[in-house]
Copies of this chain bind each other. A is one copy, B any other.
């Protein structure tokens, strides 16, 4: 009989995950899951819907493919997302004048209004989620995340 057979199994509070906690990748993943849970609990639209609408608003005429690349969504999946947004009356498709293969995206008035309402709600939500950080820490976090993203893109 080894000491392992005697010592009681650790409960959730006493778990040792320290080597995992030191991995940036593990923490990024856990935090992504936590933030998604909060998002879905707070809104009746998805993060993808919001970011697509906002990106189209900021970049009217953006090409379908450029939007997919920016949000890291594959083109076939972006097609389905845009289909939903078009059926909901938020987004309009138009063929590009200079390249008939390309699809240019823009918001309808209804879409523009919807995204502004979302933005206000998202800003308040973001404040709640980052409440454990000071404004300076929030800025530092965004900066470090951006630095890694730019390098890995």
A contact residues vs B (CB 8 Å cutoff): 4, 7-12, 15-36, 38-39, 47, 51, 54-55, 58-63, 66, 69-70, 72, 96, 98, 102, 104, 106, 119, 122, 126, 129-133, 137-138, 140-142, 144-153
Contact = CB atoms under 8 A, between A and B. Distances in A.
Nearest to A104: B9
B145 A131 contact: no
B24 A138 contact: yes
A145 B10 contact: no
A11 B63 CA distance: 8
B55 A15 contact: yes
Given A20-B54, A30-B72, A4 B60 contact: yes
